[in-house]
Chain A
């Protein structure tokens, strides 16, 4: 057969060179974009839901803002509780997305009988997940920008953002994504390791639920020191606690790389990332290996 791609070297066929990896990611994003466009009306509903969510926090601020302002002032986060909670809620979106992304992507490919195709492709699961991450963050970032824009221009949130601050945000978010990807991969491994194919997977459920409670999304975790110390200790076990704190320091206090607290947060997140990411890859590979042994890579064996 005279094939156009016959010129591709033998090694290239077994793994993708960087240029083709980028083409893969771009093709995935284009495909998801086309599918999104087909169901574009759902974006309007998402937009309305976002407006309502921001409005709820804005009106909450009228009732609880005084107590909230006192609590955040003690931690040197200014006195605008609405700004504080807006940042927490937005970062929490990224956190939840990252933790559930791997399981969601794996589930989609499994139920659509695509998983075996990805496993036997030269890009394997790594490029597939990378593509899914890029699409999800592109899409989520549009939502986040809308959140911020509405929060700032409609509801009067005050953000202190400098070019150095943007760089710190990118660094913190990147390391956070790597660390949480470890948890996400462990969560995805449960699909095969404990056959968690229903709606609830215990690892992501545990982390996502506790993030809202202890990681400082809605209030500073320091309030537990006097009220319930074990929860404060628990909050320190999640990387997102440090990331939320760091991002608020940048967006509310205008902190830069000279801040010892920022450096300490980045270092702590890096330690989480170094431990959790390899652990996640190991668990995920173990899950796939189990499925390969049991013939469970597809619904129909």
Chain B
């Protein structure tokens, strides 16, 4: 549904050190900032793709390019089968983009209903369908009882919901959400997540979510892409990325962590292999916690015996990595 190849975007930004009275050349007034460096992306029909990355990674730039609002310097792409550059208008009207601050487009002196009626028509909904479409959108975001309220009287979370309702007015094959649940209470956030999964992706829409909420991404995304400083670091199915980059570990609670114990643990072949791959011990002296990495599940007996010989074992817990662990590891590994 969306395919991008080799996308590069360079912004010309004002040089903060430039002072006009120094009469420097044009080049020194501006400097180049490469926001995207050869990004390839593929999002399929009925799939939820999560784009993750720290602040300034290039997520919004990428979203804007997919929405047809930004022209990259290099690269090619299709959106809903339309060439992003040659069939720009058709590509653009195939996408619904919703951003967390979009509520500012509403007129604060008009009710939610009147605002949505206007934006519905602008987004291409015929008058005859307007009421039912608005009703559906308001119900989807849980604002059906607030239709006659004015945006100026709403909380920021409700404004965010109103903005999402606007996005849901026009039925398009691709939905791009930039921080869709920012400022929204947990119940509504769950509602929106379920909506994205069942009502959008479940009915064949392509959903791309850019988020900082890694737990949320883990919950709903079929695939994730992690970018940083404009580069794609990882892309793939969420579970596969967790397995490949996360690695399970055992959290061992002990009465005492001694050097002999460490020596014997390091002698275990799976631990030795993990250490060789760059894993490190994490040892909390006060709590006597030891984090043992590697293929723990298959070697649990060996691990328990080794520890029991040297120490009184209180507790051993095998942990699956979270997307948060994977994200931190990948992004920090790049720095």
The answer to whether B68 and A114 have CB atoms under 8 Å apart is no
CB-CB contacts below 8 Å: A13-46 with B: 13-16, 19-20, 23-24, 27-28, 30-31, 34-35, 38-39
A38 to B150, CA, bound (A): 13
> Which residues on the A side are within 8 Å of B60 (C-beta)?
301
**Size of chain B's interface in residues, with CB distance under 8 A?**
46
> Which residues on the B side are within 8 Å of A294 (C-beta)?
11-12
Say yes or no: is A264 at the interface (Cβ < 8 Å to chain B).
Answer: no
The answer to whether B12 and A297 have CB atoms under 8 Å apart is no
One of A60-68, A93-101, A118-126 at the interface: A118-126
Say yes or no: is A8 at the interface (Cβ < 8 Å to chain B).
Answer: yes
Give the tally of cross-chain contacts (CB within 8 A). 119
Return the CB mask of B208-226 against A: 1 if under 8 Å, else 0: 0000000000000000000
Say yes or no: is B124 at the interface (Cβ < 8 Å to chain A).
Answer: yes
Say yes or no: is B61 at the interface (Cβ < 8 Å to chain A).
Answer: yes
Say yes or no: is A76 at the interface (Cβ < 8 Å to chain B).
Answer: no
The answer to whether A124 and B124 have CB atoms under 8 Å apart is no
Return the CB mask of A85-96 against B: 1 if under 8 Å, else 0: 000000000000
- Band of interface residues on A: 35 or more
CB-CB contacts below 8 Å: B248-269 with A: none
Contact of A123 with B114 at beta-carbon distance under 8 Å, contacts A14-B90, A295-B61 already known: no
- In the complex formed, the residue of B with least CB distance to A122 is B124
The answer to whether B133 and A4 have CB atoms under 8 Å apart is yes
> Which residues on the A side are within 8 Å of B121 (C-beta)?
20, 23-24, 27
The answer to whether A4 and B203 have CB atoms under 8 Å apart is no
- In the complex formed, the residue of B with least CB distance to A23 is B127
A1 to B139, CA, bound (A): 13
- Most A CB contacts (10 A, CB to CB) among B9, B124, B125 go to B124
> Which residues on the A side are within 8 Å of B170 (C-beta)?
5, 13
> Which residues on the A side are within 8 Å of B110 (C-beta)?
31, 34-35
A164 to B64, CA, bound (A): 53
The answer to whether A122 and B123 have CB atoms under 8 Å apart is yes
The answer to whether B11 and A301 have CB atoms under 8 Å apart is yes
The answer to whether A24 and B12 have CB atoms under 8 Å apart is no
One of B97-105, B227-235, B293-301 at the interface: B97-105
Return the CB mask of B94-126 against A: 1 if under 8 Å, else 0: 110100011011010110001001110111111
> Which residues on the A side are within 8 Å of B68 (C-beta)?
120
Say yes or no: is A12 at the interface (Cβ < 8 Å to chain B).
Answer: yes
Contact for A1 among B92, B97, B171, CB less than 8 A: B171
CB distance from B71 to the nearest CB of A (A): 5
The answer to whether B70 and A292 have CB atoms under 8 Å apart is yes
The answer to whether A113 and B118 have CB atoms under 8 Å apart is no
Contact of A124 with B133 at beta-carbon distance under 8 Å, contacts A35-B107, A112-B104, A295-B11 already known: no
- In the complex formed, the residue of A with least CB distance to B140 is A1
The answer to whether A31 and B123 have CB atoms under 8 Å apart is no
A292 to B127, CA, bound (A): 31
Say yes or no: is A3 at the interface (Cβ < 8 Å to chain B).
Answer: yes
Return the CB mask of B131-163 against A: 1 if under 8 Å, else 0: 011001000000000000000000000000000
A1 to B173, CA, bound (A): 11
Contact for A13 among B107, B109, B172, CB less than 8 A: B172
CB-CB contacts below 8 Å: B273-313 with A: none
The answer to whether B125 and A5 have CB atoms under 8 Å apart is yes
CB distance from A107 to the nearest CB of B (A): 15
The answer to whether A124 and B89 have CB atoms under 8 Å apart is yes
> Which residues on the A side are within 8 Å of B122 (C-beta)?
24, 27, 117-118, 121, 123, 128
- In the complex formed, the residue of A with least CB distance to B168 is A1
Given A5-B126, A20-B124, 14 extra CB contacts under 8 A: A3-B136, A5-B124, A5-B171, A16-B124, A27-B122, A112-B104, A119-B69, A120-B67, A120-B68, A120-B69, A121-B123, A123-B124, A124-B89, A294-B11
19 A-B residue pairings within 8 Å (CB atoms): A5-B126, A5-B129, A12-B124, A13-B170, A13-B171, A23-B126, A27-B122, A112-B105, A113-B104, A117-B122, A120-B92, A120-B93, A120-B97, A121-B93, A121-B124, A122-B93, A128-B122, A292-B69, A295-B64
The 7 closest A-B pairs by CB, nearest first: A4-B132, A4-B129, A122-B124, A27-B121, A5-B129, A120-B92, A3-B171
